Amino acid sequence: MWGAGQQGERPAGRLARAAGRESQPEDSAGGRPDSQRSLDSQRSTEPSPREERGWPGARTPRAPPAPRDEARKGPNGRAPAHRARLGPSGLRPPMLAQPPPAAPATTVMEAQESGEQCGIADDVRYALDGLAAGPRARRDGAVALAEVAASRRGRLVLRAEGLLGDVLAAGGRAAPAASDEVADLGFAVLALGLAGEEACQAALASRDAAALLCRLMQVDTEVQAGDSSAARLLRLLRETPLSRALPAAEASSPASVALAALTTATNPRQASGGCEAVKAALREHAILAAVAALAARHAVRLDGVCKRSAARALWGLHRCLAVFEHATFACPANERALVGLYAPGWPSGEADPAQRCSDGGAQAPAAAQAFSPSSCEGADSGASGASAENKGDGEAAEPAGTFPAWLIAQARALAGSGSAERASDPGNPAPLPGRGPWREALHCALSVVVNVTNGSSGCGGMLNAGGLEAAARVVDAVMGPPELEAAFARITDRRRLVEGADLVNVALGALINLAEHAPAHRARFVAVPLPAGRRLLPLLCRVLQATAALPGSPAAARRGSGGGGEEVTEAALAARQEEGVASFAEFYAAVLLGILVERDTLLCQEAAGLLPEGGLAAVAATIEHGLRVHLIAGALTPETEVVMRRLHGSLRAVAAP
């Protein structure tokens, strides 16, 4: 490959050796000249291309002799600075371990991400400095903070840098007199962004966050879209996931955005530690009173002549009721706090017609905005001592100024909102709203009644406020007047029950709580007046008859339905859906009926004559089946399980021949 010559020699080396013979004389010993010696030594130490590449025939170079200094180096290749002295034991001290080599700095992506986080943190600190400056700087700072909190990366930086507390404290320290609607909307968007992430919810439970939310819910102005900062905020509420929390019509209201943040942060479906902390902060920092004042303001505007304003007021009232429902779910302390809210001079939540809404937005009465927390016992005692008002329809007296009175008044108003829209439908005379925001708000109001009456603390106030009559009338409105023809009675009742099962279930739940915790008032349940002279006991029997007629219902299964080889058709799936919807209504109606008749022989006889085949034995079997289902789902407390088992045994003993 390299031409003629000695194997392993490079041509350059051969030429250099030939030239050396001609120009360099040999030394006196007959050896090679010094220049040739240096070339040979260089060739012996430098590897040839074949040696570097490991070609065959390459000679292994000999290692040069180590200098004297090299022999002094230790095993780690480093010369010791001095000879280590022997210790007292004759052993040398151990050598210090060398630190490992430093890791490479970062990748390009990590460096870019770290730089972005540092930039966001600097923007937040700059915005915080602007909040203490003039109005324009304060507005820009609030908008910048809202933009940071609207993104997941921004919220991560706020947590990692420990800036959440500083941001909320800056918003909570702002004086209401120096309030700016654009800055307020920015802080509301900030709260909404934090409420949507579980890791940030606990920050909303702080005192500073509570002060901020309470101040925002008192704002009764809206942001105009002409301002550039306002346009940035409205774009956030329109183009980011925050848009799912509220409709576009409410995006310009700081109070509505703050209310949406509270609704999201207290949602029990999240079941997070931050959610429970926010629920505790509702009562500890007077947020419940602020929400109640906002709800009163929306309720005043609900019956306004302006449909757009009434629709927005309905949304706000529904959100306030949702906060009450979330706050009182499995939280007895919040139940007592909510029942204890008191507003002097506010008897029923109804306002003077001159103070109702207009396009300009009328202010609510001062009494409706001035809620003050009082003790639960004081609220109940005041309710008991209230003077009765004979309204001519048998309704109970409403204690002036209490939250139960206002809540029941709103439930009545929402339940009667469907009278006008259904007046032209003679086939469905039930004065209840159809599917939509009115019905959802009514369901939410009744859910608050159920949560508040889950303990004995709220039952007295709800009974004195007319909660018994309101809940019973909802069930009666769903079922409607009974059919004269017995052949069509079950079919009609079944259709009505399936359509209104959501309202029937929650209304029966409220009635069960009231009957269980107020045994001295059970006679009122039997005698409660309903439209057209109807009574509660026959109404419960109608519900049980309607559920017994449902295909595949527990009652129908006990009578012996088809086997397991049925064809899966659309009708069969619809029947299964009807069974699931009405099974809870059947269980609740059976429990309430059992509570009312278990210690009264005459009522037992009356119920046995109105019930379908099986009588009270079928009612006991329904309770047993529902108890088993609820225990499997873990939906019963030990105390409730004891009550249900005692009721089941009592009904079985009464029904035994």
The pLDDT tens digits for 525-544 are 999 999 989 999 999 999 99
- Which pLDDT score is estimated for 381? 37
- Which pLDDT score is estimated for 108? 73
Q: Where are the domains of the chain?
A: 109-242+253-269, 466-558+571-655
- Which pLDDT score is estimated for 401? 79
Q: Which DSSP string do the residues of 208-232 spell out, in sequence order?
A: HHHHHHHHHTT------TTSHHHHH
The pLDDT tens digits for 320-372 are 999 999 999 999 999 999 999 987 645 443 433 333 333 333 333 333 344 55
Q: What residue ranges of the chain have pLDDT lower than 50? A: 1-33, 35-36, 38-44, 49-58, 71, 84, 86-87, 345, 347-370, 373-396, 420-429, 552, 555, 558-564
Q: Which residues contact 348 (CB under 8 A, 6 or more apart)?
A: 398, 405, 406, 409
Q: Report how far apart the first and last C-alpha atoms of the chain are (Å, whole number).
A: 118
Buried b vs exposed e over 366-379: b needs ≥16 C-beta within 10 Å? eebbebebbebeeb
Cβ–Cβ under 8 Å, residues 292 and 262: no
| CA–CA gap between residue 615 and residue 627 (Å, rounded) | 19
| CA–CA gap between residue 443 and residue 427 (Å, rounded) | 23
According to CATH, what is the number of the domain 109-242+253-269? 1.25.10
Identical fold for domains 109-242+253-269 and 466-558+571-655, yes or no, is yes
- Which pLDDT score is estimated for 435? 81
- Which pLDDT score is estimated for 19? 42
| CA–CA gap between residue 344 and residue 350 (Å, rounded) | 14
| CA–CA gap between residue 356 and residue 366 (Å, rounded) | 13
pTM of the model: 0.76
- Which pLDDT score is estimated for 112? 75
- Which pLDDT score is estimated for 569? 79
DSSP type of residue 31: -
The pLDDT tens digits for 432-486 are 777 889 999 999 999 999 999 998 889 999 999 999 999 999 999 999 998 877 7
| CA–CA gap between residue 351 and residue 386 (Å, rounded) | 21
Nearest residue to 376 (alpha-carbon basis) of 404, 398, 395: 404
According to CATH, what is the number of the domain 466-558+571-655? 1.25.10.10
- Which pLDDT score is estimated for 53? 47
| CA–CA gap between residue 500 and residue 384 (Å, rounded) | 33
